[in-house]
Structure 1
Amino acid sequence: MPMTKEPKLMTGNANKPLAEAIARRMSMHRGVSTKLVESRVERFNDGEIFVEVYENVRGEDMFIIQPTSNPANDNLMELLIMSDALRRSSAARTTAVIPYFGYARQDRRTKARTPISAKLVANMIVEAGIERVLTMDLHAAQIQGFFDIPVDNLYASPIFALDILEQFRDRMKDVMIISPDVGGVARARELAKRIDAPLAIVDKRREKPGEIAEMTVIGNVEDKICIIVDDICDTAGTLCKAADLIKSSGAKEVHSYISHGVLSGPAVERITKSAMKSLVITDSIEPTKAVKGAPNIRIVPTAPLFAQAILNIWNGTSVSSLFDTDMLEPIYEGLF
């Protein structure tokens, strides 16, 4: 592989503010100006996507920053076409930086005659010429095995741990971590361990998809500051019901920390009217005006984490070191 002098960043239209923030953080870390590669990603009148790269990328180590969030299909196609453009331009290596991996919830067959769309998307990404994937909080860990290329899956929990320790520094003895369902216990337990807090679970039972028949809190939440932890919040129906249940069970306050704020449909309105005192999300998905304007929604940045991960990949050093809160603390100094 040809030796490269600089990591080169490129972005589509999915989350340009995050891509620009990552470039700025890389410039701060290295003391060398890092800018996004000049390009255009446009649509013809019939919706076809066209990509043109204005700079020479021959032999370069390229990083495409593109979450596959809403509109998922358009953003995914942008990623694939950008990768093809770089491959045909003789880039040495192309890494897809996908802060939010769309289709991750379709990771298995839930009934007969249904697809495993996450595997199909993984195949498409590999065939487009991507040689490595960098993402955050995959909905299911086994998705890493869907790829035949290296996948680095970062975690938001170290960032959340830093934020919780700062926001509740005088009340940590009252903090309790809540998993909103049995499937998310491992994620919640990992964060609870980081901040040395107890754990409780909301058990939910569904009679049919999208409708919750019964919810029960497993654990004593009375007089506790309860923090619900999950990876994705879409319409916020389950999250708000869980918050209301926890509050009615005697909790002092209810907060939520969610890795990916999809927040579609009535989500923002539901959150604003819910028992939650605050909802903290990352900027893995570009927030809408409604999300930015919501009084009880706060956004924590992921640019420092992704910037350092990109530099580690480029330098050939450990990415897993970023799972450690102590390693992230200097990177996030002054941001909380």
Structure 2
Amino acid sequence: MSREMKLFSISNERPLALKIAENLGVSLCKMSLQRFSDGEVKVSIEESVRGKNCYLLQSMNRNVNERMMELLIMIDALKRASAHQITVVMPYYGYSRQNQKARCREPITAKLVADLISRAGATRLISVDLYAAQIQGFFDIPIDHISAVPLITEELLKKYGDKDTVIVAPDHKGVGRARRVAEKMQKPIAILNRKSYPYEKEIINIIGEVRGKTAIVVDDIIDTGLRAMTSAEKLLEAGALEVIACATHAVLVGDAAKRLADSKLKEIIVTDAIDIPLEKQFDRLEIISIGAALASAISGVQENRSLHPLF
């Protein structure tokens, strides 16, 4: 017998949570969040979850440490309320960039986060376009790693499929992602050869031909916007006709939105895996929703169906 689904979002007004709920045909469950004067968080679940399959949406974008504590406290509350299963839906995985020891005496914080989520009581994780696929192996619970790349590629095909286009990896690490888009669009790829950390903003040269083409830079995260901006400048200097940037996660810290709005990029295409407040939205920013994809992942888990089409 299928157990009842309960969908929670710690911030109940999040647009993505409401889109997921709409696609699933359910309402967000009632809960309250209280903050004490010293910053402590208290969660109250305002309906029964005993024996239910609970899905908890929380993305680690702004104030990542605060959001992490909210998530862990909510998982603990669900566990103590006798939920049958607790699936964390984390579109953007916080601390994902700290997934290996690059130098001596460094932590692997992405693994620590995985341990915290598992030990708190989560029984499954759904995430979108992890910074490093190896993070899947950090968990001892099942993890469903879905991708927004097909949605972004579909949008790129509509707008630029009939143009003389080249798909650009912003660095060597992004070649795999760029190749997936290039194969789907049947376009060539190019690679921006950047200097190593901490000088990665400097581009040594471009591997591949971009002159006279529409260049589409495919990334996973747009954080400060500097990489997208410097990519556009270098590609235009090399003769590209126009440059489009796209990414799954628009973190947009600090003045990143203004930097992108003032840049030479023709368009920036991102998803709503991270909520983008109105003050950070601008004319050339297009936001594609992954609400339907995440709803499909949740219903697939709920009904024990394969999620292969979403990978």
Distance in 1 of aligned mates of 2:201 and 2:157: 33
2:23 paired with 1:25: yes
3-state SS of 2:19 partner? helix
Contact 2:211–2:241 (CA under 8 A) maintained in structure 1: yes
Contact 1:8–1:37 (CA under 8 A) maintained in structure 2: yes
> Corresponding residue for 1:91?
83
Distance in 1 of aligned mates of 2:248 and 2:14: 19
> Corresponding residue for 2:73?
81
Paired residues for 1:37-186 under 5 Å: 37-169=29-161, 171-172=162-163, 174-186=164-176
Give the deviation of 1:175 after TM superposition. 1.7
- Which residue, out of 252, 270, 292, partners 1:304? 292
Residues 211/177 of structure 1: CA separation in 2 closer, same or farther (3 Å cut): closer
> Corresponding residue for 2:201?
212
Contact 1:15–1:66 (CA under 8 A) maintained in structure 2: no
Give the deviation of 1:212 after TM superposition. 3.1
Residues 38/127 of structure 1: CA separation in 2 closer, same or farther (3 Å cut): same
Distance in 1 of aligned mates of 2:211 and 2:276: 33
2:308 paired with 1:320: yes
3-state SS of 1:10 partner? strand
Residues 248/213 of structure 1: CA separation in 2 closer, same or farther (3 Å cut): closer
Contact 1:4–1:60 (CA under 8 A) maintained in structure 2: no
2:23 paired with 1:8: no
Distance in 2 of aligned mates of 1:191 and 1:64: 30
Contact 2:96–2:132 (CA under 8 A) maintained in structure 1: yes
Residues 210/11 of structure 1: CA separation in 2 closer, same or farther (3 Å cut): farther
Alignment TM-score, normalising by the size of structure 1: 0.90
Unpaired stretches in structure 1, ≥5 consecutive residues: 28-33, 324-336
Contact 1:14–1:286 (CA under 8 A) maintained in structure 2: no
Give the deviation of 1:266 after TM superposition. 2.2
Distance in 2 of aligned mates of 1:215 and 1:152: 37
Give the deviation of 1:213 after TM superposition. 3.9
Distance in 1 of aligned mates of 2:13 and 2:66: 13
Runs of 4+ in 1 over 6 A off after TM superposition: none
Distance in 2 of aligned mates of 1:67 and 1:225: 33
> Corresponding residue for 1:202?
192
Contact 2:194–2:200 (CA under 8 A) maintained in structure 1: no
Moved more, 304-313 or 38-47: 38-47
Distance in 2 of aligned mates of 1:192 and 1:296: 23
Unpaired stretches in structure 2, ≥5 consecutive residues: none
Distance in 2 of aligned mates of 1:22 and 1:286: 13
Aligned length: 311
